[in-house]
Structure 1
Amino acid sequence: VEYDFTADLEDKLDDISSGRVDWKAVLHEFWDAFNNAIDETKDLRVSEVLDRLDELLGPHFFRPGEDGSDPRKCPSCDDGRLNLKLGKFGAFFGCNNYPECKFTRPLEVTNGNGGDEALLASGPKELGPDPDTGDLISLRKGPYGFYVQRGEEALEGKKKIKPKRASIPKSSNPVDVDLEIALGLLSLPRDVGIDEETGDMITAGFGRFGPFIKVGGTYVSLKESDDVLTIGLNRASHLLADVPRKAPPKELGSHPKDKKPVVQKVGRWGPFVQHGKLMATLPKGTDPDSVTLEQALELLDAKAKKNGKGAKKAAKPKKKKATKKKKPAAKKSNPPAPSEPAPEVANE
């Protein structure tokens, strides 16, 4: 940005507003300089502009690594060079060996290691076999970030069996994930120890909102300094001591239609029963410990009917539109016959 140009133009605009300078003269002066600058570049091709921008912006986006290696060296094919390119969604850096090498990198400043994209430029990274199953453990990247996977998708008849997957915590660097860390993530949830207050097992796991510990119906999110793979009983007990305890879900029995469990839980708005995704709140004054499977089924059926998930409502009979009676067409009356003139009487 040329700050002198901006300041000079602001002064001229002030002169125009005060009437000291004619605005047409200022506009004519600006247009002459602008038009001359355009004439110097209008014959340039897009490739020439990209080469020039690549030369100017290269030192900003490609900073030498600590080992003094060339920061523009492609981390995927080793003999390629990363150049500025223009794509459907804007500018990016790509290998000059395209289409043999399809490595790309967004416009961002790195420290010379090519960023996390270099990890999987040539596909999933193999970490090693699972010592228990022999399945290959691999590091992959999906739409929601990096994750590890055990084995591949398999078919049992016509049913697809998805492999076990585990997300990489945001606090972890994917570059540092090895076989040991991957096996630990895939083994979650894991037992931490027995809770002294309830006698239940405290477990550590990783959910949609990040790492957590759980005992009964009580969940606590872990801090950034806590590691879900190594957190011990003392630290877990300390975190649980600061939160109110919730009663664990109570299974009342199996639903007679699909044999899936019907459970009773305590939520933000009080106790309720649940079957699948259908939930029904217990009436006020009901003792949660006394609720039976039959009572829960009645509440769930009533909620299903209220939500329109029960029997289909009978369609209301369509009202027949009353047909308008057509008025009979008026009969055309015959015009009266012309009257005959009276006979003339001769005067005698």
Structure 2
Amino acid sequence: MNYRIRIIKITAQITAKQPLYLVLRLFFLVVSLAFYFLFLFLVYVFLFIFCSTLVSMVVTDFLSYLQLDNVSAGLTEWKGLLSDYWTRFSSHCKQAESIHIHQVEKMLEKTFGAMLFGSLPDNNRACPSCMEGNLIFKVSRYGAGYFIGCDQHPKCRYIAKSLYGEEEEDDDVPQKKHPVEEPKLLGLHPVSNEKILLKSGPYGFYVQLGEDRKGFLPKRASVSHFKDVDAITLENALEWLRYPVTLGKHPKDGQPVIIKLGNAGFSVRHRRSIVPVPKNTKPEHITMDKALKLLSSNNVRLCGRPKAKPKLEEALEAM
């Protein structure tokens, strides 16, 4: 009992010294609950509109049809009842799975249209970017969220920053009037004479050596670490396309030590160990000695899965 009193005292001391901490925790809790209930409400609307039969089966038919009193009394064989119920239930689930995502988007847009687009002036849903398309409600590619975007995608890639179709303004970041038109030709490679293009993908902008060809993957380098995409030059692209660069072999196991360029910037990698290059250090200044020091620091993390041991080695270890 003493440890509980001690925990309560410590919590009270933390709250007294850091009231902002308690307020922030409470704020994040309220926001999380709000999003959780919003998600449940969207699921309910989907089931109510498309799967009303399924809802009635779960809420009413399941309890009444199984005749739980008869099952508990041993008067009804429960396996047969479950089998019959599951046959009908699974058929309705398959019916729900066959509904296309576009139908769901249109249903949600029709149901919540007043909330989604009510803040637009004069209910004008014209795309502010291309001025040709209209703003529509869309579910993200992997179902992880939803957004307001232009119906002329991929011709127009406009996405509203808020759920209500309004673009949020940031006073600290200057707004660009003209977005980068991609693919953008930066120049030609001085040796191969291939085009070097600036393109945009699902993980941000990247530079590419050569054009897309069927059955061939061109060399690419992420430029997500570079803030001003408009300022990227041919020299920048040539420098980034040099990576990954092998510095040498690790003295302990002879495996290569590599400098790579990823979405988060430059990093040093050895087998599964990866460590970011410090922001105040240029990657071309990283030597083998500096790389080994970085790999022995506390910033190292493991990536990927360890390679499985051959079955013969596992059998020998078991013996």
Return the structure number with greater relative CO, CA threshold 8 A, min gap 6. Answer: 2
Q: TM class by shorter-chain length?
A: 0.3 to 0.5
Larger Rg: 1
| TM-score, normalised with respect to structure 2 | 0.41
Calculate the TM-score normalised by the size of structure 1: 0.38
